[in-house]
Amino acid sequence: MHRSLLSKLVVPIALMTWSAHVSCGAEQALFNGKDLSEWDYFLVDPAAKMSDVWSIQDGTLVCKGEPQGYLATKKDYTNFTLVVEWRWAPGTQPGNSGVLMRITGQATMLPNCVEAQLASGSAGDMYGFQGFKIDGEASRRIEIREHKLAGHLRGLTKIEGNEKEPGEWNKYEIVADQGKITLVVNGKQVNQAHNCDVRAGKIGLQSEGGIIHFRTVQLTPK
């Protein structure tokens, strides 16, 4: 198992708060289109390397989807607007992935965090793993207390989907503002959770089956 994240994900509260606000208001390209120097990673296969899964081709971040795991920013963020553009590789079977936020604790396949779902057909669903708290309309809530991988799982299904056909580019606009997290897909608000856990954590991009491309990962701290 890749261990470099394990010593970095849990940091003193004072440092977490400082790192979350040091660049407040400054737009940041988390993916620069050239390299992954600002990212760390976790993979379930202990022998796998970052380059076995993620590569950059013509300014696009390509994730093979196997082995499973995720990229994670080296910096922590609490409140922000995050823009992610993604597509499933043209001509391939679309699969599963997700945008992870406020990642803390032990590095596992589904760490303690909130996820904006990217699985084909499910973009806009939201999940809290390992006890991460999210809440919303009762009719859309999901809760599994002993999920095999996610621990105490909380979910909030999307209000309405707005994805494009597989192979076309989609745009997530995610606003994390204290206990409220809002998801917008291709210009339409598709979900909003409240009473979410508020703390500094890393931003992650999942490798979870299916070849997925990212061309924009841009964050503006609040």
* Three-class SS state of 111: coil
pLDDT of residue 135: 98
Contacts of 148 (CB under 8 A, 6+ apart): none
pTM for this prediction: 0.89
pLDDT of residue 24: 60
Digitized pLDDT (tens) for each residue of the chain, 222 residues in all: 444 454 444 444 333 433 434 446 789 999 999 999 999 999 999 999 999 999 999 999 999 999 999 999 999 999 999 999 999 999 999 999 999 999 999 999 999 999 999 999 999 999 999 999 999 999 999 999 999 999 999 999 999 999 999 999 999 999 999 999 999 999 999 999 999 999 999 999 999 999 999 999 999 999
As given in the structure block, the two tokens for residue 64 are: 């093979």
Number of structural domains (the chain) is 1
Q: What is the CA radius of gyration of the chain?
A: 16
Q: Is residue 4 part of a domain?
A: no
pLDDT of residue 25: 78
Q: Is residue 118 part of a domain?
A: yes
Q: Is residue 6 part of a domain?
A: no
- Cis omega (within 30 of 0) on the bond before 67? yes
Tokens 């207390």 belong to residue: 145
Q: Phi and psi dihedrals of 86, rounded to 5?
A: -145, 160
pLDDT of residue 98: 98
> For position 123, which CATH number holds?
2.60.120.560
Antiparallel, parallel or unpaired: β 60-63 and 188-193? unpaired
Question: What range does the domain containing 20 cover?
Answer: 13-221
